[in-house]
Each structure stands twice: as structure tokens, then as C-alpha cells.
């Protein structure tokens, strides 16, 4: 039986394939490593902005670019403390740490000087985050009723009602798609991905229900608005140009914040929709597990924080002193 010869060309080609496969695997590993260290899309956007800010500050100090030394980092953090809250400072520091890890430089924040400066900043400005104010439900309904039935008005009414009834973050609201809305006999199921607490793309769902008052019913307002869009897929909440021209451009989260202030008042923020859901539901007797089903919170800590101020006023023995 004649044996087939293995030519040098075949060996060379096999060797090349092995090298190519190894290179591809190394590239894939590096890509996974980078994605793991960078985090979610929203985190990358926020960290990118923070890195640009520190790079601009370094140039003002006559320093070309990162990496940053511990002494310079301590000075930068001190400068930031004169203008920003603790949460902003810590987020910026996290971005600096990630940049150094990604570029294989020592972490400057591990230095004792930086740690002591951070402790001094914490003691000076405090760490308590500013709470988004919660509105009164009657006040809220009174502000919703006069919204005109124009395309813009119908969009904003649906935005405010769905945002409140669904306890949505503004980033989740603007990420909703029409095909993610399923109307049922009781209301609607809204499916979405990529929330703040779900960074791996798992589909989550929230339910909203019909209310007796058509002017403040989140489900009816959503149905009316979708009818205006005249399509069955794509972004749900979109930009509307002058002359009430409906586009297919997804609304930005900043526009959600503007809508809240326009209709509910300057005192409120987009997060007030979510904070108000927790506060009002809690004070009306909803238990924490029911609230967490909608908000997707993993712990009760944030629920307690949202409802603390209202409980101090409405559940206080000082009201029963007979003065």
C-alpha cells in the first residue's frame, strides 16, 4: 500500500494555521480582559468623561498626560473636593484606577498620602448623597392632566406616567423599544435589557396597570402614544421636531430630565419619578418585596433611604402630643 507523502508545504501551512489560531486566541483573550475591566457601556462612557477631565487638569498643571503620581493625584482630588460631591470624586477616582490597571501601571490611589487626603475630604464634605425629592400624588396628577394631546404632549404624558408607574431609571426609559411592549387584559408588560443592576444583558420585565382615571392612566397614555408612532418596532420614546414631526431618533436621558422639570417643576429631577414610586407605594401600604419587584433593587437599603424623610413627617409621635 502506497503511503501519501507529507510535503514541506503542508507542514508549513499547518504551522501557519497554528500560529494564526494562537494569535487569534490571544487577541480574543485580550479583548475579553479589556471588556471585563471596562465594564458596561454606561460605565465606559462615564469613565471616559472622567479620564478626559483629569487629562485636561494635568495639562493645566503642565503635565503631559497620565499616568499620574500619588502626590499629583492627592492634589487633583483636593481640587475636585472644592467643587464636587463625594460620589463624583469617588467615581472619578475609580476611572483613574481602571486606567492604570488597563495600562499596567501601579495604582496611585494605594499610596498612604492619597488615602489620608480622601479621609480628610470625606470628613470635610461628607458622603451623604443628595436625595431626589418625591412629589405628592395629587400634585403629580394635577400637573399631568393639562398636558395637551399633541404628539409631543402624548409622548411626554406617556413618558411621565410610565416612568412613575414603572419606577424606571431615565436610562431604562429611553432604552425601551416598541417591540418590548406587550399589552394585556390588565395593563402592559415592558421588557428591557441593560439596567444599572443588570449589566449582562439579561431581559427584565416590569408591569404597569390600567387606572380608573383615563387622564392619568399609564397604559392608555402609552397606547395613545404608540398609535402616533405608526410603526411596530424601533425606539419607543423618540424626538419630535418643530411642527410636531415625529422622528425615529431615540430620546436622550437628558430630555427625560427636561420633561420632568417642565411639567412637575424645577425642584424635581428625572430620578424623582423613581423615588416617588417607592415613597408613595410604601406609604400606601406596599411591602418591600412588592416595591423591589418593580424597582429591581437587590436590597432594602435604597427603599429605606427614599422613604425616610416622608416617614419622619407622616409617621411621627410628635403629631400626637396634644399641643
How far apart, in Å, are the Cα atoms of 115 and each of 67, 101, 121? Answer: 18, 18, 10
Residue 196 CA to residue 176 CA, distance in Å, equals 14
Contact yes or no for 263/276 (Cβ under 8 A): no
| Burial category of 261 from C-beta neighbours within 10 Å (exposed 0-12, middle 13-18, buried 19 and up) | middle
* Phi, psi torsion values for 298, nearest 5 degrees: -95, -20
Helix/strand/coil for 64: coil
Alpha-carbon dihedral angle through residues 243, 245, 251, 256, given to the nearest 10 degrees: 40
Residue 50 CA to residue 99 CA, distance in Å, equals 10
Question: Containing H/E element for 198?
Answer: none
Comparing C-alpha atoms, which of 59, 270, 313, 284 is closest to residue 168?
270
Instruction: List active site positions.
Output: 169, 196, 271, 274, 297, 306
Amino acid at each position: 500500500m502506497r503511503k501519501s507523502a507529507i510535503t514541506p508545504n503542508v507542514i508549513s501551512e499547518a504551522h501557519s494555521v497554528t500560529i494564526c489560531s494562537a494569535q487569534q486566541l490571544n487577541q480574543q483573550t485580550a479583548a475579553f480582559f479589556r471588556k471585563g475591566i471596562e465594564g458596561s457601556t454606561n460605565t465606559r462612557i462615564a469613565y471616559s468623561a472622567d479620564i478626559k477631565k483629569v487629562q485636561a487638569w494635568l495639562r493645566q498643571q503642565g503635565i503631559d498626560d497620565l499616568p499620574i503620581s500619588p502626590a499629583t493625584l492627592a492634589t487633583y482630588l483636593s481640587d475636585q473636593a472644592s467643587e464636587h460631591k463625594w460620589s463624583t470624586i469617588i467615581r472619578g477616582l475609580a476611572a483613574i484606577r481602571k486606567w492604570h490597571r488597563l495600562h499596567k501601571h501601579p495604582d496611585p490611589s494605594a499610596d498612604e498620602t492619597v488615602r489620608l487626603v480622601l479621609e480628610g475630604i470625606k470628613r470635610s464634605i461628607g458622603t451623604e448623597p443628595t436625595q431626589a425629592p418625591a412629589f405628592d400624588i395629587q400634585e403629580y396628577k394635577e400637573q399631568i392632566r393639562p398636558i395637551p394631546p399633541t404628539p409631543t404632549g402624548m409622548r411626554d404624558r406617556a413618558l411621565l406616567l410610565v416612568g412613575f408607574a414603572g419606577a424606571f431609571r431615565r436610562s431604562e426609559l429611553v432604552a425601551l423599544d416598541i417591540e418590548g411592549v406587550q399589552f394585556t387584559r390588565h395593563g402592559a408588560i415592558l421588557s428591557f435589557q441593560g439596567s444599572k443592576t443588570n449589566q449582562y444583558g439579561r431581559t427584565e420585565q416590569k408591569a404597569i396597570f390600567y387606572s380608573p382615571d383615563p387622564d392619568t392612566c399609564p397604559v392608555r397614555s402609552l397606547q395613545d402614544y404608540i398609535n402616533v408612532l405608526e410603526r411596530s418596532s424601533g425606539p419607543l420614546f423618540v424626538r419630535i421636531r418643530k411642527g410636531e414631526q415625529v422622528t425615529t431618533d431615540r430620546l436622550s436621558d437628558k430630555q427625560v430630565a427636561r420633561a420632568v422639570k417642565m411639567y412637575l417643576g424645577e425642584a424635581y429631577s428625572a430620578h424623582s419619578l423613581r423615588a416617588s414610586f417607592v415613597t408613595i407605594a410604601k406609604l400606601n401600604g406596599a411591602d418591600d418585596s412588592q416595591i423591589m419587584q418593580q424597582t429591581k433593587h437587590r436590597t432594602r437599603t435604597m427603599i429605606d433611604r427614599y422613604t425616610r424623610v416622608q416617614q419622619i413627617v407622616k409617621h411621627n409621635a410628635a403629631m400626637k402630643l396634644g399641643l
